[in-house]
Amino acid sequence: MTEASHFWIINVRIPNCFIDSSIRSPNLEINRSPTLERDRLFACHLEIRDGQITEILPSSKLSQIPTESLSIIDGKQGIMIPCFTDLHTHLDKGHIWERSPNLDGTFQGALNGIYADCTEQENWKYEDLYRRMEFGLKCSYAHGTRAIRTHLDCPPQQFDTTFKVFTELREKWQEKITMQAVSLVQLSYFEGVEGEKFADAIADIGGTMGGVAYMVPELDQHLDRIFTLATERNLNLEFHTDENDDPESRTLHHIAEAALRNNFSSQIVCGHCCSLAVQDEEVANQTIALVKKANIGIVSLPMCNLYLQDRVADRTPRWRGVTLLRELDAAGVSVTLASDNCRDSFYGFGDHDLLEVFSMGTKISHLDTPYDNWIESVTSRPAALMGLSDVGKIGIGETADLVLFKARSYSELLSRSQSDRTVFRNGMAIDTTLPDYAELDDLIG
Ligand SMILES: [Zn+2]
């Protein structure tokens, strides 16, 4: 769109939550539009210089912009947000659907599909993993994603190859996407000398320790071990928790207790937390209070939950599968949304597009009444939980990593796919062409 290093993007609407109140308050008198009021959008103009945002002016101050000698992009009242951060993905599993589909759509079918593809058929060789993971990165980048955390399956025969591919891609893509990795194993994996070596291997790649928590008798013992190993290595933690509809499944509660018991000070993120939504209110509220106290961030995976939860053959699902997003948010917990799986046996669809995640999450969880600051759930909040202080922000001095939509309200934003969005990286509009599916034909068959 422009090659100029100094230009203005005029007539855009930015969600209030991204704009410093000192910039926003003079404009309050002017924001009389019902759409702006209801959607909490700030009408303004942005100056970009050498890839950075250097000025944000309220819409009323258009006449102050020196238009003669500068390039001007007219946003035509479109919504603008910071680039996305995808907190919870599985790039290593992605895009194997045609090779290893989930024919009954159940959680067990999903586990079987991955086991067959990774372990039985030994498909996850270097090239296979590299190209599938990079395909996911290409999609993410084109859709406007700036940072991604991926879980990595780590069966003993696999993790050397997987870690090698991850670190190579992280280096190759570092200018475009900040990548983080989390181990995905059973919690018992961290027991003994082998567990210590594995924790060292995670530390060596600058990863996050993680695994799937189940309600086994040894759960608290496993958690204490993991918190000790993580503390010794100064690592963050991320768990898959309670991805089921069993009210007795309370691993989130156990993790919060373990965090407090171990005085853990690094960041913890827990994903899914589906069963919280089927527990008695009092029981759920106790857990939510503990989660808040332990400063645990929550990531909900609404599309994957809708797909796998409450799936029984020949029966229509009654439950949407998501956790108590609103209640956690009301308690002051940082609640985020992310992609999770993409075109694999855990989720047969997806395209690494966080606008789709936000759109689906909003509709599944009724986040539209009001929209409030929920757009933060796919931008600034996940960036903060990943410790990325320079990502997910729109402010003077921040890098101009922005997504501009033609949609002028949330209703317009969440009604179309917005495939014609403009993604600015370092102030430059990038090519948003998606990779061709045929790129992977020789791998997937
Ligand atoms: Zn996951």
- DSSP at 374: G
Pairing of strands 209-213, 237-241: parallel
Pairing of strands 402-404, 422-425: antiparallel
Global pTM reads 0.97
Residue 77: phi and psi, rounded to 5, are 70, 15
Give the pLDDT confidence score for residue 1 in this predicted structure: 46
Place of tokens 């998606």: 434
pLDDT (tens place) for every residue of the chain, 445 residues total? 445 799 999 999 999 999 998 888 755 555 567 888 888 999 999 999 999 999 999 999 999 998 777 799 999 999 999 999 999 999 999 999 999 999 999 999 999 999 999 999 999 999 999 999 999 999 999 999 999 999 999 999 999 999 999 999 999 999 999 999 999 999 999 999 999 999 999 999 999 999 999 999 999 999 999 999 999 999 999 999 999 999 999 999 999 999 999 999 999 999 999 999 999 999 999 999 999 999 999 999 999 999 999 999 899 999 999 999 999 999 999 999 999 999 999 999 999 999 999 999 999 999 999 999 999 999 999 999 999 999 999 999 999 999 999 999 999 999 999 999 999 999 999 999 999 999 999 999 7
Rounded CA-CA distance 369/413 in Å is 15
Q: Tell how far the Cα of 151 is from the centroid of ligand 1, in angstroms.
A: 7
So what's the pLDDT on residue 294?
98
Active-site hit among 47, 134, 238, 243: 243
- Known catalytic membership, residue 257: no
What domains are defined for the chain? 6-82+393-429 (2.30.40.10), 84-385 (3.20.20.140)
The residues pairing with 212 across neighbouring beta strands, listed in sequence order, are: 186, 240
Asked if 9 and 48 touch (Cβ cutoff 8 Å), the reply is yes
What's the confidence (pLDDT) of residue 30?
56
Ligand 1 center to 248 CA (angstroms):
21
pLDDT for res 2: 45
Cα separation of 323 and 306, whole Å? 11
How far does residue 219's CA lie from ligand 1's centre (Å)? Answer: 19
Look up residue 312 and give its DSSP letter: B
Bridge partners, residue 288, by sequence: none
Q: How far apart are the first and last CA of the chain?
A: 37
Length of the chain equals 445
- Distance between Cα 428 and ligand 1 center (Å): 32
Distance 338 CA to ligand 1 centre (A): 9
Residue 136's pLDDT is what? 98
Residues 92 and 133 sit within 8 Å (Cβ to Cβ): yes
DSSP of 60-119: GGGGGS--TTSEEEEEEEEEEEEPEEEEEE-TTTTT-TTTS--SS-SHHHHHHHHIIIII
Q: What tokens were used for 256?
A: 């919060």
